[in-house]
Amino acid sequence: MDECIDGWLAGWLAGWLAGWLAGWLAGWLAGWLAELAGWLVANGETLRCAETVEPLQPLNVTSRPLPEVPDEGVLLRTLYAGICRSDVHFIDDETKAGNNNGLGDSFKGAVLGHEICGIVDVIGKEVPADCPLKVGYTVIVYPWRGCRQCEACSANESHLCENTAGGATDIGRGGEHVGGYSTHVAVPEWTLLVRVREAIPPQIACLLPCCGLTAFASITKARPNLECAVRMRGRANLLVIGTGGVGTWTTLLVKCVFCDKNVNVICADVNAARLEEAAALGADDVIEWDDAADVDEIVATTTMGGYNKMDAVIDFVGTTRTQTAAFRSLHHGGAIVAVGLYGGQVALPVRSLVAKSVTLHGQRVGSVHVLRELVDLLSSQRPQKYPMVEYFGLDDINSALDKLRKGDLKGRAVLQFST
Ligand SMILES: [Zn+2]
Ligand SMILES: [Zn+2]
């Protein structure tokens, strides 16, 4: 009987002890883990970012472990990140048939933002010693990295890559590479970085990799036709259709590119307020297009009845109507650069196309070389005035996106990070 009681007592004691120990251990472990998480946050070992949740839903601002520094790249601390309209399309259009993403289940958790300016924080261990970047440098990120393997990517023309699967290999476009809606960005290759110096404010520099680059590359495409017109007539006319973010940047950059030549910039828009900003940035003339007017009326207004034809048109809207008006407004030897993606068909009379020797271009962003040229241009020209910017903190990103959706922004929306 005594043996029985002893056995029962020993069993009860062992059970109680084991339970107590397990409880204590679990409590200690949980406390230690919480302390470790706090320490990691306090020591900057996590990042804060805004990630997609569901299509059409607000982004979720959250913390994540800091990523490892890419061997051949760098870890950046973000200073400023532009919020591009295409990000809103990414968030809102996932459910639409024929959208560009088609991500399905992998939509969730994407950290967008492809207009990034940051400070080099850590350099990867396999970055060559002769790399000109140093910790503390202010840089912008060329996000259009492509697949890194095809002929276009090998020739540093990765914006022409045909293997990007809707941009998933680019930075901040929904693939594995986290974008600028984050306090830190791991840039996989150091060659994607372009240093910016004091001549270009970082809050402006962040807009160069998409908005500025698209504007500059479009001007570069139209440049031979404009220079030919200057040789023939002593002056050239460039029509900019649509003066949103990229259109206003184009107005500014044309004045930087052709500072010593007689190239007039004429801006057309249906929005009078946007035309005012274009005029303030150096547009030589602005034309308010009547939304209800037919193409004949638009062409007559724009060319002053044919007395003031265009030598190049950059179309940031991209409808059948704007493309038709662009073509009919051109001098012989003119160029059309199509950038806007509104949609529609371009049906141009082949006889006129040939007879007028018109050049047709489509332009999607540009190469990393063109981005470097743009940085050099702005560094030397130092414009006194840049297009308007409205700033938001990361916690306010959803109100920035809503304002962009409603057209309530005063200029481009830019995320500002505390350093
Ligand atoms: Zn963009
Ligand atoms: Zn490629």
Question: The domain spanning residue 98 has which CATH number?
Answer: 3.90.180.10
Give the number of the ligand closest to the Cα of residue 85. 1
Give the number of the ligand closest to the Cα of residue 154. 2
Asked if residue 260 and residue 311 are part of one domain, the reply reads yes
Other CB atoms within a 10 A radius of the CB of residue 326 amount to: 31
Asked if residue 202 and residue 165 are part of one domain, the reply reads yes
Q: Are strands 74-83 and 184-187 parallel, antiparallel or unpaired?
A: antiparallel
Asked if residue 130 and residue 158 are part of one domain, the reply reads yes
Asked if residue 221 and residue 195 are part of one domain, the reply reads no
* Overall number of domains in the chain: 2
Residue 377, pLDDT score = 97
Please give the distance, rounded to the nearest whole angstrom, from the Cα atom of residue 151 to the centre of ligand 2: 7
Asked if residue 203 and residue 63 are part of one domain, the reply reads yes
Q: What is the pLDDT of residues 74-97, one digit of tens each?
A: 999 999 999 999 999 889 876 665
Asked if residue 144 and residue 228 are part of one domain, the reply reads no
Phi, psi of 201 (to 5 degrees): -60, 140
Please give the distance, rounded to the nearest whole angstrom, from the Cα atom of residue 365 to the centre of ligand 1: 8
Please give the distance, rounded to the nearest whole angstrom, from the Cα atom of residue 145 to the centre of ligand 2: 8
Please give the distance, rounded to the nearest whole angstrom, from the Cα atom of residue 161 to the centre of ligand 2: 4
For residue 171, is it within any domain? yes
For residue 1, is it within any domain? no
Hey, is 139 helix, strand or coil? strand
Please give the distance, rounded to the nearest whole angstrom, from the Cα atom of residue 210 to the centre of ligand 1: 5
For residue 118, is it within any domain? yes
Asked if residue 100 and residue 218 are part of one domain, the reply reads no
Residue from 295, 302, 212 nearest 252 by CA? 212
Please give the distance, rounded to the nearest whole angstrom, from the Cα atom of residue 242 to the centre of ligand 1: 16
Residue 158, pLDDT score = 95
Please give the distance, rounded to the nearest whole angstrom, from the Cα atom of residue 364 to the centre of ligand 1: 10
Residue from 397, 132, 386, 97 nearest 245 by CA? 386
Please give the distance, rounded to the nearest whole angstrom, from the Cα atom of residue 245 to the centre of ligand 2: 28
DSSP secondary structure code for residue 209 in this structure:
I
Give the number of the ligand closest to the Cα of residue 171. 1
For residue 5, is it within any domain? no
Residue 250, pLDDT score = 96
Asked if residue 162 and residue 57 are part of one domain, the reply reads yes
Identify the H or E element spanning 379. helix 368-381
For residue 38, is it within any domain? no
Give the number of the ligand closest to the Cα of residue 164. 2
Report the C-alpha gap between 74 and 185 in whole angstroms: 8
Please give the distance, rounded to the nearest whole angstrom, from the Cα atom of residue 136 to the centre of ligand 1: 26
Please give the distance, rounded to the nearest whole angstrom, from the Cα atom of residue 169 to the centre of ligand 2: 9
For residue 53, is it within any domain? yes
Please give the distance, rounded to the nearest whole angstrom, from the Cα atom of residue 178 to the centre of ligand 1: 15
Tokens standing for 120? 């080099």
Asked if residue 186 and residue 270 are part of one domain, the reply reads no
Give the number of the ligand closest to the Cα of residue 412. 1
User: Which residue type sits at 209?
Assistant: P
Please give the distance, rounded to the nearest whole angstrom, from the Cα atom of residue 152 to the centre of ligand 2: 6
Give the number of the ligand closest to the Cα of residue 208. 1
Please give the distance, rounded to the nearest whole angstrom, from the Cα atom of residue 337 to the centre of ligand 1: 18
pTM attached to this predicted model? 0.87
Residue 1, pLDDT score = 46
Q: What is the pLDDT of residues 284-325, one digit of tens each?
A: 999 999 989 999 999 999 999 999 999 999 999 999 999 999
Please give the distance, rounded to the nearest whole angstrom, from the Cα atom of residue 356 to the centre of ligand 2: 36
Please give the distance, rounded to the nearest whole angstrom, from the Cα atom of residue 192 to the centre of ligand 2: 14
Give the number of the ligand closest to the Cα of residue 170. 2
The CA distances from residue 358 to 263, 331, 348, 353, in Å, are 19, 8, 11, 6
Please give the distance, rounded to the nearest whole angstrom, from the Cα atom of residue 91 to the centre of ligand 2: 25
Query: Which region holds residue 156: left if phi is over 0, alpha if psi is between -120 and 50, else beta?
Result: left
Report the C-alpha gap between 396 and 399 in whole angstroms: 6
Residue 194, pLDDT score = 98
Asked if residue 200 and residue 52 are part of one domain, the reply reads yes
Asked if residue 251 and residue 160 are part of one domain, the reply reads no
Residue 238, pLDDT score = 98
**Residue 274's CATH number:** 3.40.50.720
Please give the distance, rounded to the nearest whole angstrom, from the Cα atom of residue 158 to the centre of ligand 1: 16
Domain with 282 in it: 213-362
Please give the distance, rounded to the nearest whole angstrom, from the Cα atom of residue 173 to the centre of ligand 1: 9
Asked if residue 251 and residue 171 are part of one domain, the reply reads no
Please give the distance, rounded to the nearest whole angstrom, from the Cα atom of residue 344 to the centre of ligand 2: 28
Identify the H or E element spanning 118. strand 115-123
Give the number of the ligand closest to the Cα of residue 86. 1
For residue 110, is it within any domain? yes
Give the number of the ligand closest to the Cα of residue 206. 1
Tokens standing for 391? 């700033």
Please give the distance, rounded to the nearest whole angstrom, from the Cα atom of residue 43 to the centre of ligand 2: 38
Please give the distance, rounded to the nearest whole angstrom, from the Cα atom of residue 165 to the centre of ligand 2: 10
Please give the distance, rounded to the nearest whole angstrom, from the Cα atom of residue 412 to the centre of ligand 1: 11
Please give the distance, rounded to the nearest whole angstrom, from the Cα atom of residue 86 to the centre of ligand 1: 6
DSSP secondary structure code for residue 182 in this structure:
B
Residue 218, pLDDT score = 98
The residue ranges of the chain whose pLDDT is under 70 are 1-8, 26-44, 94-106, 260, 419
For residue 217, is it within any domain? yes
Identify the H or E element spanning 338. strand 330-338
Residue from 215, 195, 207, 196 nearest 255 by CA? 215
